[in-house]
Amino acid sequence: MAGFWQGQGKCARAIGLTFLLALVATPVFAADAPGTHEGVASCGGSTCHGRLAPSGKTVRQNELITWQDTTSAAGTHSQAWQVLNRSRAQNISQRLGLGPAQNAKDCLGCHSEPASARGSKFQVSDGVGCEACHGGSGGWLSDHYRLDWKHGDSIKAGMIALEDPRARANVCLDCHFGSARSGQFVTHKMMAAGHPRVSFELDLFSALQRHYDFDADYVKRKGLSSGIKFWAVGQALAVERQLSLYADGAHSNEGAFPQFYFFDCQSCHRRISDEPNAALTAEANPGRPLPPGAPPFNDENIIMLSAIAKVAAPGEGASFDAATRNFHTVMAQSRDPSAAASQLAGAARSLANALATHGFGRDETFAALDAVLNGAAARYTDYEGGAQAVMAADTLLNSLVAQGTVNRASAESLRPQINKLYAEVHDTNAWRPAEFRDAIRQLAGAVGRLK
């Protein structure tokens, strides 16, 4: 990690150059092509984003320190490549016959920064660097801090509009779900070799890696940031990503088997009992017309999207629910579910667009919480759906606090119920659906009393 401290390099040079250019008006150095990833050292100079304190006028300018802080989740991305050197990763790659994990292209698509063009300071060992999310800076690095340069100018030059929930969701999902690009897909084979289950919720994970302020200046430049909107659009695009990858043919199977990554893990990984009166551990689910023994497609995001659609886009929500039922039915009956999967992906895409332009108010946020905690409760038969619902509860309560609808102390008074829910989903092997549903309904009651 040395290098960042001396890493003023390009940035400091460019500051000098802007001044020079103003005088001579002819470019004296050729910038790299737009889209080129210049590397973290190009962003992290002490006069750029590498200050010790968040003392910048417009942005904090100590983003590098937050990104590097390994004591918090906000610093995880700087370690994404380093973890490949550790024994867990080495065991995975050895079991899969991939050679050293830190060089394996099946791992690098998510554990380092995918960059088709690299500047001289780009280093794979930086893990998931600034440009993995903000976009290759070749087209804007030397201009984006100019006083007469607007955010929109950067976007035109290749910066990604992360304040747009659709753009942000698509960036995160590439690694926090998977994509069709090379090296960006975690298979069940990798899970069986030791890779952790991948779990994601856009708003909560954004909060966990936050290195920016939503101050008046941010709002002026980028508009208000709505937690419930990020959550809702994140759910819609997660469904779209999951179903379109499942439908694309290249990711739907592993040998003769379907790609188990798309299914609820616990539904296959259960205990078997020979007791004559044994109660079954699998439960019927009202959202999925499946016979016993059919592995359910993981519907954690489908359940959330259905809940928010009922509140914010009921018409489209009804078509989405119909496409969902059709998809599960086809899964139990046909060898080729790709048409039903594409149809469901399309319904989710259309909901993403509707939700991204929707204005969410106080009543809708309460209604969304009620839909997740109460309305959908009967659908929490499986671990994944439960875990996603807990993240939703956390996110939506935060959104109520951020809107000024609920004060922090009242929200904090619900901590015991939320902690109880987190405890219920702490261990995938100890999933107790009936107890979980009781706990989530208790929280629903407590939230109702906040209104």
Using a 10 angstrom Cβ sphere, with 0-12 exposed, 13-18 middle and 19 or more buried, the burial of residue 368 is buried
Report how far residue 303's alpha carbon sits from residue 305's, in angstroms, rounded to the nearest whole number.
6
Nearer to ligand HEC, 58 or 120 (CB): 58
Neighbours of 310 (CB within 10 A): 18
Nearer to ligand HEC, 185 or 320 (CB): 185
Q: Are 187 and 254 in contact (CB under 8 A)?
A: yes
Asked if residue 101 binds ligand HEC (CB under 6 A), the reply is yes
Q: Are 158 and 137 in contact (CB under 8 A)?
A: yes
Q: Are 348 and 249 in contact (CB under 8 A)?
A: no
Q: Which stretch binds ligand HEC (CB under 6 A): 174-182, 244-252, 368-376, 386-394?
A: 174-182
- Which residue type, as a one-letter code, is found at position 267? S
Asked if residue 212 binds ligand HEC (CB under 6 A), the reply is yes
Q: Please give the radius of gyration of the chain, using alpha carbons only, rounded to the nearest integer.
A: 23
Mask for 389-418, x = binds ligand HEC (CB under 6 A): ------------------------------
Considering only residues 110 to 139 of the shown chain, the ones binding ligand HEC according to CB under 6 A are 110-111, 113, 128-130, 132-134
Asked if residue 425 binds ligand HEC (CB under 6 A), the reply is no
Instruction: Among 11, 41, 80, 393, indicate the residue that binds ligand HEC (CB under 6 A).
Output: 80
Considering only residues 28 to 67 of the shown chain, the ones binding ligand HEC according to CB under 6 A are 40, 43-44, 49, 59, 63-64, 67
- Which residue type, as a one-letter code, is found at position 432? R
Instruction: Among 119, 178, 287, 385, indicate the residue that binds ligand HEC (CB under 6 A).
Output: 178
Contacts of 167 (CB under 8 A, 6+ apart): 160, 161
- Which residue type, as a one-letter code, is found at position 387? A
Asked if residue 191 binds ligand HEC (CB under 6 A), the reply is yes
Q: What is the number of alpha carbons within 13 Å of residue 442 lying toward its C-beta?
A: 14
Asked if residue 211 binds ligand HEC (CB under 6 A), the reply is yes
Nearer to ligand HEC, 4 or 360 (CB): 4
Q: Which tokens in the block code for residue 434? A: 């009936």
Instruction: Among 10, 37, 51, 77, indicate the residue that binds ligand HEC (CB under 6 A).
Output: 77
Asked if residue 195 binds ligand HEC (CB under 6 A), the reply is yes
Considering only residues 245 to 304 of the shown chain, the ones binding ligand HEC according to CB under 6 A are 260-261, 263, 265, 267-269, 295
Nearer to ligand HEC, 55 or 277 (CB): 55
Contacts of 246 (CB under 8 A, 6+ apart): 252, 259, 262, 297, 337, 338, 341
